[in-house]
Structure 1
Amino acid sequence: MDVVHWHRAFNWTEAGPGLLTSGAEAHMYRIGPDDADERAPLVVKMSFPAGWATAAHTHTDDYTEIILAGEITVGRTTYGPGDVRVAHGGTGYGPLRAGPDGCEAILIFKSGDGLAKPLRASDAN
């Protein structure tokens, strides 16, 4: 069996930019030789503007969130630079609110499904 070696390098501004309907900005790529494999882990750099907020929700996929700058409050807990959250797919949390300086974060979704699904407030952690 032949081993295929690959390496990609790019700037975040080139990585799947998109302004979400919520006003947050997302740049994303998949871990692998290209972005075609929808099952490959998904890495997302999120930029939440000051005061940004969204309702309680969940993600289908297990994921890790690393706060780079600013702060974000999830439910009653506020996270800042260097804080890491890890959640199992289907775990509800929220609501979320970005701090006065907004928030920059990296999210890594285990098998490529970063889609958020809304929850009732009573289902969130």
Structure 2
Amino acid sequence: MIALGSAALAGETRHQRVLENGFSFHRSEWMQSERGPGLSPTVFLVEQPPNAVLAPHFHTQNQFQVVKAGSGTLGAHAVGPGSVHYAGAFTGYGPLVAGPAGLSYFTIRAVYETGANFLPAARGRLRRGPKRNAHGPVHEPLSIETLRGLESVRQIPLIAPQDGLEAYALQLPPFSRLEPIEARGSGQFQLVLAGALETPQRRLQAWESRYLSPGEDAGGCLAGASGVHLLVLQMPAVALEYSTG
């Protein structure tokens, strides 16, 4: 399957939410699919207010987070625009602390799930199995001027490949071809940081994305007239311990 993220959808779905623990934020949906237990890719944006703290928690599915704007910390790590974080299923992480200008970040999952399990209250819901956190460096989107001046494709590693997990950035000059990238594990997300990506389905602008399930044809894509700065996020398969029972 191929699923596309949309800024228009985000504008239609942005709303305020308040969790049971009192944490208040705005959320918008950038990619929606069926809410089934199989591949059901979702991308949503959390807008965390200035100095707000999201307590440590875990989820039941593998996920990436990509910072869109603002600054803050995730655990002991400073984060800013373009930062990539990976948390495996049933792996605690946090707290997420927004800086004085707030913090907004995408949560990206190949399988839909309902919400956070806050620690230590939800410790009893943790399951035995592999635990994994991985952090990439701050990786700010290139300016359009810099993109237009590129003379060759650049690849920047962000999270080293291991057991199906990988994250890296591609910077492509205007109108250059995106070589097909095989989707593995639970699939691959491509997120535009700057410029535009021309896909067989439609053009993807800054912060829009697409999802490719394993075996899907990834060809036929070109950088736009100003080039493209693209994140490639390979989502590992859910560990066997968490995919059964």
Aligned residues: 115
Q: Distance in 2 between matches of 1:68 and 1:11?
A: 17
The aligned counterpart of 2:18 is 20
Deviation track 1:19-75 (CA, whole Å, cap 9, x = no partner) reads 23311111125444xxxx213111111101101102110111111111011113111
Query: CA 1:31/1:53 → structure 2, altered by over 3 Å: closer, same or farther?
Result: same
Q: Given residue 56 of structure 1, which amino acid in structure 2 is its aligned partner?
A: P
**How do residues 47-58 of structure 1 correspond to structure 2 at under 5 angstroms?**
47-58=47-58
Q: Distance in 2 between matches of 1:25 and 1:81?
A: 18
Structure 1: tracts of 5 or more residues without a match:
none
What is the TM-score of this pair, normalised by structure 1? 0.78
The aligned counterpart of 1:80 is 80
Cα drift, residue 120 of structure 1: 2.2
Query: CA 1:7/1:28 → structure 2, altered by over 3 Å: closer, same or farther?
Result: closer
Structure 2: tracts of 5 or more residues without a match:
124-132, 134-245
Q: Given residue 58 of structure 2, which amino acid in structure 1 is its aligned partner?
A: T
Query: CA 1:97/1:7 → structure 2, altered by over 3 Å: closer, same or farther?
Result: closer
- Note if contact 1:42-1:114 (Cα within 8 Å) is conserved in structure 2: no
Q: Distance in 1 between matches of 2:5 and 2:76?
A: 39
Q: Distance in 1 between matches of 2:4 and 2:65?
A: 24
Q: Given residue 96 of structure 1, which amino acid in structure 2 is its aligned partner?
A: L
Q: Distance in 1 between matches of 2:43 and 2:10?
A: 11
Query: CA 1:44/1:6 → structure 2, altered by over 3 Å: closer, same or farther?
Result: closer
- Note if contact 1:42-1:111 (Cα within 8 Å) is conserved in structure 2: yes
- Note if contact 2:72-2:97 (Cα within 8 Å) is conserved in structure 1: yes
Q: State the superposition RMSD in angstroms.
A: 2.6
Percentage of pairs with the same residue: 28
Q: Given residue 54 of structure 1, which amino acid in structure 2 is its aligned partner?
A: L
SS at match of 2:24: coil
Q: Given residue 70 of structure 2, which amino acid in structure 1 is its aligned partner?
A: G
Q: Distance in 2 between matches of 1:13 and 1:19?
A: 16
Higher relative contact order (CA 8 A, sep 6+): 1
Q: Given residue 14 of structure 1, which amino acid in structure 2 is its aligned partner?
A: E
Cα drift, residue 18 of structure 1: 3.7
Q: Given residue 19 of structure 1, which amino acid in structure 2 is its aligned partner?
A: R
- Note if contact 1:30-1:112 (Cα within 8 Å) is conserved in structure 2: no
SS at match of 2:111: coil
The aligned counterpart of 2:35 is 38
Q: Distance in 1 between matches of 2:109 and 2:16?
A: 17
Q: Distance in 2 between matches of 1:70 and 1:49?
A: 10
Q: Distance in 1 between matches of 2:105 and 2:4?
A: 24
